[in-house]
Amino acid sequence: MERGREGEGRLIFTVTDLKQYSYCPRIVFYTYCLPLIRPTTGKMEEGRLAHKEARDRERRRTLRIYGLEEAERHFDVWVVSEVLGLSGRIDLVLEVTREASGAFREWIPVDYKQTGRRAGPHLRRQLAAYGMMLEETWGGVVRRGFLYSLLTRRVEEILLTPALRQEVRETVAAMREMVERERMPDPPPSRRPCVTCEFRRFCNDVG
């Protein structure tokens, strides 16, 4: 299920929306309330190419970077949560099983990020959302996820704590309210995100 509305009219957001809302809520407002102004840039294509290269490298390397001996890799896993009203595609899901018995142990979502910095709230929420959707789509409990930096090739483990899960639910609820009321939010307190923002020419109040 992709971005859009279900039969009864409920909006289904994408995990990208969730990430962008944490970066600047106005981007999600533009996407849903003024969809015709969405700019097209080379950034998305660059991102797609970087992810494809990462997948190719992933297939060739061992799992040691994740601290694992063995796991099955599932690439580009589509997930959806009817509960959250959210859908998305996970770069990679590691399926870890006990070697001896083959019994299921855990799913671990992995998201490739294009920054070398430690994960901010937007990336943590995105990963937690993937985990929550995975639980609903595939069953079981997801305890953690990994963020893999395409720049440093390092991995950061993120625990799906109750507090982080609550942040995801609250963020989706806030997005839903904003879009349903068609209320344009204020720009973020720091103007730093505006510097490279694709929507900048539509925001006359950010200088």
Radius of gyration, CA atoms only, the chain: 18
Binding region for ligand SF4 (CB under 6 A) out of 22-30, 57-65, 113-121, 140-148: 22-30
CA dihedral 30, 132, 147, 92 (to 10 degrees): -100
CB of 205 to ligand SF4, least distance (A): 8
- In this structure, are residues 19 and 130 in contact, taking their beta carbons and an 8 Å threshold? no
**Site pattern 133..172 for ligand SF4 (x: CB under 6 A):** ----------------------------------------
| Residue tagged 């959806």 (tokens) | 80
Q: Contact with ligand SF4 (CB under 6 A): which of 27, 147, 172, 175?
A: 27
CB of 49 to ligand SF4, least distance (A): 24
187 to 206, contacts with ligand SF4 by CB under 6 A?
Answer: 187, 193-194, 197, 199-200, 203, 206
Rounded to 5 degrees, what angle do the CA atoms 181, 13, 10 make?
60
Query: What is the rounded distance in angstroms from the CA atom of residue 52 to the CA atom of residue 81?
Result: 25
| Contact flag: residue 185 with ligand SF4 (CB under 6 A) | no
Query: What is the rounded distance in angstroms from the CA atom of residue 168 to the CA atom of residue 15?
Result: 10
**Residue ranges in contact with ligand SF4 by CB under 6 A:** 24, 26-27, 187, 193-194, 197, 199-200, 203, 206
